[in-house]
Every structure is written in structure tokens, then in C-alpha cells.
Chain A
Amino acid sequence: MESLTCPSCGAALPVRDPGLPYSTCAYCQTLVRRAAGSVEAVGTVAALPADVSPIQIGTTLDRGGIAATVVGRVRWGWSDGSWNEWFLRAADGRAFWLGEAMGMFMLTSAYPAVLAVPAVRNFADGNPMARDCTVKAGGKWLTATDIKEAACLGSEGDLPFPTLPSWTMTNVDFRNAAGDALSVQRDADGTTAWLGEWSDLAGLKPGNLRQIEGWTKPGALA
């Protein structure tokens, strides 16, 4: 793992995922852009609010025998709440987002094919998404159930986009009866689509979970 230092405070800035351009300094909340061995401060990220998430940077999940490791986190806020999205990089190079809501998890990987669907392309062009819109992705039909305008509340670790407080996105969650999940996110960089499924924590076969004060990890997860 190559090592950089924060251009703002000089603290070590570990590179967890060289493929990602942005990193947040754990000590001074400076957002750093990395390019070809150089580092550049691009602003200051809001401090993450306290939470009791069991995930932390370094947590591993098992995806069909291949370990994926959490390298960064962004916290999104919307009018009625907030949620975490954790970025994971698998040993085979694949990227995942792990969304956390209501104590449950939505693990998705990039699925750009759905961006060609007219309804999604229309959304990507900046138009609103209709609720109850149904699309087919990965051979499954999914319905848009949840559309949120979200703003970045803070970040840590390595991430693919700049998580400054001004960074906003529109998120559309699709789901179906089988527990499949499709997340389409539109931000200043464009629109991305992520397909996966809902799960409880145990179903992700996690490792290196965060030790939350006052709680013991259940036997199955310890």
C-alpha cells in the first residue's frame, strides 16, 4: 500500500484503493484528490455524525467466495433522515456499494446496462423519475419505490466522487418482491446504476465488524 500525506495537516493518508480519486483525511476532514502520485486538497468535508453502524473501513464481505473490503463511506442526508453508503472493492477488482437503511443492507454492483432503458435514460437526462416506474434489469422486473434528493453529510476513506457539503444527488431505489434492489444515482458527474439485493448483516458474511460500545457481536458474526 503506497502512502501519502495530507497536504493540509501532514497526517498519513493511507491509499486503500488506488483506483479511486478522492480520499478524506481522518484527522482534519480535508478532501484530497489524488492523481499520478500527487495530492491536492479540494475542500473540507463535514464531520461525520455519530452513528451505531456495525460497518467500518476495513470490514469485509463475502461475495460468492470473493472478499470485498470497505474502503470508504459517504453519508447522505435528505429531508426526513440520512443513511450511509459504503464503497467496497473486491479482490477481483469489482466495486460495490453497500447502502444501510432501517438496520438492513442493500449490496449492489455496477449495472450500466439499465441506463439504456428509456425511463432511466430520461432520468439521466435530468428529468424526474415517476414513482411506480417499472424497469427490467438483470432479468428481473423492479419498481421505483423511493426517490430522494440527498446532500452529502460527510465522508471517510476513499471514494469515487468529491464529498463536499455542496455535493448533491438524486437517488431512485427500485425493488421487487424477491428482495432485489436497483439504485440509480444522478449527480454532477453523471448517472450510475447499481443492481443487487437487500440482505441482513449476517447474510453478507461480514468480517472485521466495528466493535460498538455497549454491545457484543452476536455469536454468528463474531
Chain B
Amino acid sequence: MTQPRAVTCPSCGGSIEIRAAGYTVTLACRYCGSVLNVAHEDVRLIKAYRRVAKDFAIALGTRGTLFDVEWEVLGAMRRRSGSAVWQEFLLFNPYAGYRWLVEAEGEWQFGTMLLDRPEDDGLSVTWRGQSFALDEDVQIETTTVLGEFYWRAGRGDKVQGATFMRGREALSRETSADEVTWTQLIAVSAEWISDAFVVKQKHRSRPPRLRGQGLKQGFIKAPTMDEGDLPAMLLMALAALLMIMAVQTFLSGPQVCADGRATVEVGAPTSTQPIGTIEVRRPWQFVTIAVDSDSFHNRWVDLDYSLVNRKTQQSIDAYGIVEFYTGTDSDGPWSEGSHHTDTLFSSVPQGTYDVFVDVGAHGWPSDPQPGSIDPANPWGNTDTVALWFRSCTGGFSWGMFWLMAALLFSVPVIIVWWRHEG
């Protein structure tokens, strides 16, 4: 009587040991998914299937300790209500009976079937002196079963499920054609569950579940990866981004700067003006040219910079623009643009460079008359733009920074999105 009971699947011929012999009524074959009636000595095939659902969060047969009791995962079900999909695991200990673990979107609940039933008054129930409010009442369909169950379980089973909440505790009422069962569900942390079951799993023989699955399934939905790590992931991404910021700031030096100034008449042809000399001391460095203008309105200034290497006379060009517009419309006054612009040169080789700028200033909507001088104020109204330049070695690529930020945060965001999509 102490030998474990083993049955042979009539569909695929696989040999399966029954762990809760004497209690188990239904067995969904771990090899082919076929649903078997094992209530009696003669095993009967209820429905043959060819495929086993594999991506359950905890593998069948896994043992773990929760609330000081060791539990073995006997059965797993995937259930659905509308667009919500979740997993339920049947836990067993011969001395403590059955319990449930329910996993939905990374949240876990530990379920105990109630022997004393709550008193129902429609929108709330009273159980052991405490009131629980109705949260939802929906039809639940079982889409997949795997392993052992103490009742006749199968794919396509439908029950009416009502949930009553009180804080983090819930009472679930499931009504099927021939019975009503009540289960108390308490929230348990994902870390707790992964400590109890998933981590231990590494030390147990485990089917190679990740093989043959795409990256999407493997990384985002993979069973051994519970969803409680998202906060840690976001923290990690933030830390990495700060490191990237520090690295980009400190590795771009040393910084040496040169100042220059230029004045340009609006509407006049472009003119080339020298604005300083800088020395790139490392084999490759960024060069940043920052420009500030006086506070003009409705002008734009094209800036074509050239770094001319003194030794080779080769030139590296980059482009910047300063523009500022104002106006008034039905919403009131508006302004657009800035009197400051940074221009970044990448991969500037070691050497000494003379910095030149080709400046051309223009008016919006049209250029003013070139050279026009107000006779009343011959110095004040000359339409010129003054520009102050600061050319420095080194620089910070904001484009690179934001690209890194996107690559870092896209992973948790995709996981959240994926889970949301089911």
C-alpha cells in the first residue's frame, strides 16, 4: 500500500506517478496533455490532446514551504475571464490537505478552501464576524489543465466566480452545476513565492522549458521569472542611466575653451569670422561651440562653423542656428526659439584648430532693407545681431544619453505592455 501508484497514459503511453493517490480523480498527462480519469484502477481517457501547456510559473512536482508547511505542486490550471488570464496551482501535503496558489499579473494569492461558509447577503458576505464587499462576479473558464486534481477537471470547465474583498484578503465563491465552494485568498509577495518554489526549482530536475521558445516567451513571459522584479529593474535602469551620465561627462574631457565674438548685419551676405583657437589634446574629442546672441526678435542666424586644423589645413564643419520669434494671436502674445545654441562636433582628431564661423542673419517674415539707418538714431537702430561664442573641447551628447535611456527603460516598459496585452 505504500508503493506510489503509477499509471500509463492511454493516449501517449507515458508513465505517470500519481502523487496524491487515493484523492486524485483527474490527471492531465504531463507528456501529451490528455485528460484521464484515474478515479478507479482502470484508467480511462476522457479527452486526448497532443500538446502540453508549458509556460506555467511553477513546474509540477516542485515543492516549497509556505506557512511552515511543505507543499507539492500537484496541478496547474490556466483560467480566463473576459480578457483576464491567470494561473492557479493546486498544492498538496498529505497531512495538511490541499491549498491553492493563484498568480495573476505578478500578484500571488494563497487560497484555502473554507469548511465554514460565509453568510451571503448579495453585495457583501460575513465570515467569522467580518464583512467582505463584492468585488466582481464573472464567468470563469478553465483553458488548460495539467497534473492532478481531486475533482473532474478539464479544459473548458465553466464556473460562476464571485470575489468578495476586505483589504488584502478575499473570499472567492465558485458556483458550478453541482456545488458551491468558498475559498479564502490572502495576498502573498512574489518574493516569498519565488523563495519558496522557484529558487528551489533550480536545485531540482526541471524540464528544459526555455528551449524552443522565442525571446519574447523566454524573457518576458518565462515561467521562472516572476513579475515581482519590475521595481528592481526600474531602479537598476535609473542607476545605469546615472552612470552613463557620469561616464559621458567625465570621459569627454579635458575641457579647454576659447571665446570669440562676431557681429552680423541682418540681411547682409554671410561673412566668415574667426572666433578663437582650441587644442584637442586626446586622440579623439568632442568639440562644443556655445553661442549666445543679443536679444533680437524675429530673426534667425545661420551659423556654419569650421574647425581648421593648423597642421593639415583640413576642416571639420558643423552647423548651428539661433532664432527667436514673437507675435500675438487670438491666444495672446507668443514667443518661440532661443538666443542660445550648442553645436556638437564628434570625433575631432588631436590637434590645434582655428575656429571660424560663417554667419548670416535674416529677418522674419522678410529681411529689412540692408544698411538702413534711422537718421534720428544712427547708432541705435542699425539692424545687427551680436554673437558671443565659446568653443570648448569635450561635450555631452544628449542624443546618445536619450538613446541609452530609451534602450534601458524600453525593457521594463515592454514587459508591462506585454503583460497588459495578456
Contact = CB atoms under 8 A, between A and B. Distances in A.
A and B touch in the complex (CB under 8 A): yes
B116 interface: yes
A179 B347 CA distance: 79
Contacts of B21: 49-52
B336 interface: no
Interface in A173-222: 176-179, 198-202, 209, 212-213, 215-219, 221
A19 B2 CA distance: 29
Main secondary structure of the interface of B (DSSP, over half): loop
Nearest to A46: B41
Contacts of B70: 215-216, 218
A82 B314 CA distance: 93
A80 B2 contact: no
B97 A200 contact: yes
B119 interface: yes
Contacts of A10: none
Contacts of A201: 95-97
A102 B23 contact: yes
Interface residues of A, number: 35
A215 B93 contact: yes
A213 B2 contact: yes
Interface in A84-108: 84, 102-104
Nearest to B118: A177
Contact of A51 (B1, B68, B179): B1
Given A80-B25, A145-B179, A53 B113 contact: no
Interface string B108-152: 000001011111000000000000000000000000000000111
B92 interface: yes
B156 interface: no
Given A81-B39, A177-B118, A178-B116, A51 B95 contact: no
B30 interface: no
A10 B179 CA distance: 48
A130 to B, nearest CB: 14
Interface string B22-46: 1101000000000000011100000
A84 B23 CA distance: 10
Nearest to A176: B117
B23 A103 contact: yes
A221 B69 CA distance: 11
Given A81-B39, A103-B96, A52 B69 contact: no
Main secondary structure of the interface of A (DSSP, over half): loop
A49 B41 contact: yes
A54 to B, nearest CB: 5
A48 interface: yes
A181 to B, nearest CB: 9
B93 A102 contact: no
Given A102-B97, A103-B98, A213-B2, A52 B115 contact: no
A218 B26 CA distance: 27
A198 B113 CA distance: 12
A77 interface: yes
B260 to A, nearest CB: 82
A104 B41 CA distance: 23
A52 B1 CA distance: 9
Contacts of B5: 49-50
A173 to B, nearest CB: 11
A138 B69 CA distance: 35
Contacts of A49: 5, 21-22, 41
B95 A54 contact: yes
A221 B98 contact: no
Contact of A215 (B23, B40, B95, B150): B95
9 cross-chain pairs, A with B, having the tightest CB-CB distances, nearest first: A51-B22, A103-B97, A179-B116, A198-B115, A177-B117, A179-B115, A81-B39, A52-B94, A103-B98
30 contacts: A50-B1, A50-B22, A51-B1, A51-B21, A52-B21, A52-B94, A53-B94, A77-B40, A80-B152, A81-B39, A81-B150, A82-B40, A84-B22, A102-B23, A102-B97, A103-B92, A103-B94, A103-B150, A145-B179, A146-B179, A177-B116, A179-B117, A198-B115, A198-B116, A212-B95, A213-B2, A215-B93, A215-B94, A215-B95, A216-B70
Interface of A: 48-54, 77, 80-82, 84, 102-104, 145-146, 176-179, 198-202, 209, 212-213, 215-219, 221
